[in-house]
Amino acid sequence: MAKIDRDAVVRAQVLLLGTEEPEILERIAAYRVLAEMGPLTYLPKLSGALCELADAPVLEDRPELRLRYFSEALEIARRLGDDEPARDFLVRAARSGCERAAAAGG
């Protein structure tokens, strides 16, 4: 098991608990760090945030990036246990996003 960087964990927690909503890329980075420590809690959030980023208007003309983010979200969602309530939703959302991005040329 890899050693967990406690400072990175604290920074990620502070970012997510702050009074201002962090930018999507900041949230994704925080979820990546926290998923190492608490995968059951943070992998679903990471998958959802990756879908959110992939659907962002700024990536509308970047189907290859959209496909990459949706594909990562799908891979994470598929790893979630059957007891995760959001699993089916996340798998469907990521799969649908992959299909849309691929159709757009990704």
Query: What number is the average pLDDT over the span 48-72?
Result: 96
pTM across the whole model: 0.92
CA 52 to CA 99: how far, in whole Å? 15
Q: State pLDDT tens for residues 2-50.
A: 678 899 999 999 999 999 999 999 999 999 999 999 999 999 999 999 9
Q: State pLDDT tens for residues 64-90.
A: 999 999 999 999 999 999 999 999 999
The confidence score (pLDDT) of residue 1 equals: 52
Q: What is the 3-state secondary structure (H, E, C) of 6-52?
A: HHHHHHHHHHHHCCCCCCHHHHHHHHHHHHHHCHHHHHHHHHHHHHH
The confidence score (pLDDT) of residue 105 equals: 84
61 DSSP assignment: T
Alpha carbon 73 to its chain centroid, in Å, reads: 6
Whether 27 contacts 46, CB under 8 Å: no
